[in-house]
Structure 1
Amino acid sequence: MRARRIRPLTTLLALLTAGGLALAGCGGGGSDAPADEAARTVTHAMGETKVPAEPKRVVVLDTGELDSVLALGVTPVGAVTTEVSAGFPSYLGDRLANTKKVGTIPQPNLDLIAEVRPDLILSSKVRHEQLYDKLSAIAPTVFAETVGKTWKENLLLDAEALGKKAEAEKLLADYRAKTEELGTSLGDPAATKVSAVRFVAGSQTIRAYTPNSFLGTVLTDIGLGRPDSQQGEKTFNSVSRENIGELDGDVLVYSSFGSPDISGEKAVTEGEQWKMLEAVREGDAHRVNDDYFYTGIGLTAANKILEDLNEILRK
């Protein structure tokens, strides 16, 4: 059967309003229940939202939510990409072949989201707070508070919205067992200081990620040490190219968000200062996959990091 043509979102909202329907009834915080009598109430960063007992058409608006739903066995009908890539994160393989692109993380396309007829939308307040009311007019919408270091809590929230919290708890228990096993195999993991570095297009500085970042939490879970330059409450500290020595560690992992030519990575790693770092001289500087070390922010990405670190740290 040929799919019917979906009206643009602006037209759709106008028709709903004209017909006397309460837009919030489609899923906003404190909204009326969906038609499913078994709807559940989920408490989240924006309030309370009633969601279907078993959402079937999920849209995700950040990489963390994308990772989470796939880890829980749900293929979203719509998802955003990052602003530096036309595709979904490479480590997720071909699992998103039938998922429609609905804009980018900074600019989700509301018309495209409406076209895929979601029954649940997942994102975070830090990313899309200004769009919450409009998204809630399309479908029940659940937001985490923030991203990065809270990825485990976000996974559990997404799982609650999907009706899969028990599965998420089991997956997290498996992850913790893996981190403990890797840490134990290293003997004294705290004695190894791992430097986590990222080059970002458009930035004049280099990012040195702290324990309060996604990657930082994985390193902490293993029990690894961190350089003095990578401490503090921020997600990352900015290091100038003149102070590259601050990036050193016993082991250094680095990547680029965007092209290495544009991010500044190539210019720095080909320079003499970089080559003088002890980790570089000792062969302990490793270029890693940005998609899961820094961009993924989810369980699947965390497990991929563990696989890579198992090889890097046990050489």
Structure 2
Amino acid sequence: MGETKVPVNPQRVIVLGNLENVLALGIKPVGATTLGDGNFPSYLRNETEEVAKLGINGQPSMEKILLLKPDLILGWSWDEGIYGKLSKIAPTVFVEGSITWKEWLRTFAEALGKTQEAEKLLSNYNHRVETFREQMGDRLSQIQVSVVNFWADQVRIYMKRSFSGLILNDIGMPRPSAQNKDKNSENLSLELIPKMQGDAIFLVLGEGEESKLTQFTNHPLWFQLNAVKQSKVYQVNNDSWIGSWGIIGANRVLDDLFKYLLTDQSSDRKELPTLAVTQSFHS
């Protein structure tokens, strides 16, 4: 949004989206916006107990922000309509919605004076990607991964520009033809169940999906999917696979890929590398 002068070692940070990147950099903000259900991602529960909720992403409460007296505000360009108001409260830095989650991390890190920490996190992520590729060996090119999301009354397949899709791209995992597209997602109806086809299906479940899930998984077309026939349908977390767009969620996606796609490998494989996230925060 132009040039912004930010304080050195800010003490009262507010985050309007992409909270986990700030936490991963070792900063506990005084307040942040939440997911659409009014909660922070489930896997951040322990790290967010003292973080004030400022409304859902895209709809922050200006009144609550004012009361917290921030010295730095971080957010996404989807709030550009209130950038002027926010920047009068405190220096405000937005990330552009069209760049990748890695650049979002780097931008927040620059504003927080944590560039070296961000590069270490990304280096660790890249190392885990390479380790996964090595341990998969020839199987890497032989398994097409399908990502299917059940959320309320919607059923979607996720493609190359989705968060999990970008991680699969980094790895070089093949995608089914219906999902090998340069877009985020497509909604499906019952007759389009064959578009879920894959050697492994990662089934992402959100809240309120029970009736839709039952409707699809009881349909005859569901039982014709290769992954269903071979019992390779794996339930994973919506907050990390779909809603994260941050370094902690990216590593959780990798955790699931290690867990489910390498279980057939030899038991003498090396211990899986893990994410090192700073646990000492200042607020």
TM-score normalised by length of structure 2: 0.88
Q: Matches of residues 114-153 of structure 1 in structure 2 within 5 Å? A: 114-125=66-77, 127-146=78-97, 150-153=100-103
Rg comparison, structure with higher value = 1
State the Cα deviation string for residues 105-157 of structure 1 (Å, max 9, x = none): 132111111111111111111x212121122122111111116x710010000
Aligned with residue 48 of structure 2, among 91, 96, 99: 96
Map residues 26-65 of structure 1 onto 2, 5 A cutoff: 46-62=1-17, 65=18
Quote the offset at 1:297 in angstroms.
Answer: 1.2
Q: Does 1:112 pair with 2:60?
A: no
Find out whether 1:180 has 2:122 as its counterpart.
no
Aligned match of 1:243: 192
Report the counterpart of residue 245 of structure 2 in structure 1.
297
**1:153-172 → structure 2 map (5 Å cutoff):** 153-172=103-122
Tell me how far apart the structure 2 counterparts of residues 61 and 258 of structure 1 sit (CA, whole Å).
Answer: 23
Higher relative contact order (CA 8 A, sep 6+): 2
| Contact 2:153–2:209 (Cα < 8 Å) also in 1 | no
Match of 1:227 among 156, 163, 176: 176
Aligned residues: 262
Matched to 1:67, the amino acid is: E
Distance 1:76 1:250, change over 3 A: same
Greater Cα offset, 268-277 or 285-294? 268-277
Identical pairs, percent: 42
User: In the alignment, what sits opposite 1:80?
Assistant: 33
Partner of 2:208: 259
User: SS at 1:48's partner residue?
Assistant: coil
2:16/2:58 contact within 8 Å kept: no
Cα deviations across residues 65-90 of structure 1 (Å, max 9, x unaligned)?
A: 2010011011111011112x232111
Specify the alignment match of 1:34 in structure 2. none
Q: What are structure 1's unaligned runs of at least 5 residues? A: 1-45
- Contact between 2:148 and 2:203, CA under 8 Å: does it hold in 1? yes
- Tell me the TM-score normalized by structure 1: 0.79
Pairwise CA distance, 1:50 = 0.9
Paired with 1:169 and 1:80, the residues of 2 have a C-alpha distance of 25
3-state SS of 2:5 partner: strand
- Of residues 24, 35, 41, the one that matches 1:71 is 24
Pairwise CA RMSD:
1.6
